[in-house]
Amino acid sequence: MWQDFADYILNEIGSKEVKIAEIGIGKFNKVSEELSKMDNITLIKTDINPNDDNIIKDDITNPDIRLYEDVDIIYSIRPPSELQPHIINLALKINSQLIIKPLTNEDLNSGRTKMKLKNYKKASFYVLR
């Protein structure tokens, strides 16, 4: 499933030069490892409690907007429900595509913002363009 999730992002961008941000990476890095292999992707990873030097400390409830300048795609894997509106607000503010993969069987907390459920191979997630 995680390879399918990464493949969806890779198919979306093709060979374009893009900047991608993973919000709330935690200790799960399967998708970011796949994306990091690509020369056309600049990847930033953020978390409120970074667990290594490659992750930038940022609080999504009060994000440092400078970190997200020129970000084309934001994605977040299993973000807590209470953080989802903050991630959506950031994507809208910087005019970025957004992909959220909530916990299985968890409803998306998107408020008035409509996100489309996308099924791609064995992965399912929500997309905001």
Q: Which residues, listed in sequence order, are joined to residue 127 by a DSSP beta bridge?
A: 99, 116
56: domain CATH number is 3.40.50.150
Is the model's pTM score more than 0.85?
A: yes
Contacts of residue 97, defined as CB under 8 A and 6 or more positions apart, other chains included, come to: 12, 72, 73, 74, 91, 127, 128, 129
pLDDT at 115: 94
φ/ψ of residue 49, rounded to 5: -130, 80
Q: How many structural domains compose the chain?
A: 1
Of the listed ranges 20-24, 81-85, 105-109, 123-127, the least confidently predicted one is 105-109
- Of 67, 64, 70, nearest to 18 by C-alpha is 70
pLDDT digits (tens, 9 = 90+) for 80-117: 999 999 999 999 999 999 999 988 777 888 888 899 99
Q: What is the mean pLDDT of residues 22-26?
A: 94
pLDDT at 107: 80
pLDDT at 118: 92
What is the 3-class SS of 10-65, one letter each residue? HHHHCCCCEEEEEECCCCCCHHHHHHHCCCCEEEEEEECCCCCCCCEECCCCCCCH
Strand pairing of 18-23 and 41-47? parallel
What is d(CA 30, CA 63) in angstroms, rounded to the nearest whole number? 24
pLDDT digits (tens, 9 = 90+) for 34-66: 999 999 999 999 999 998 999 999 999 999 999
Residue 84 CB: number of other CB atoms within 10 A? Answer: 25
Domain residue limits at 23: 2-10+17-128
- Of 112, 58, 17, 83, nearest to 100 by C-alpha is 83
The average confidence (pLDDT) of the chain is: 93
pLDDT at 37: 94
Tokens linked to 127: 């997309």
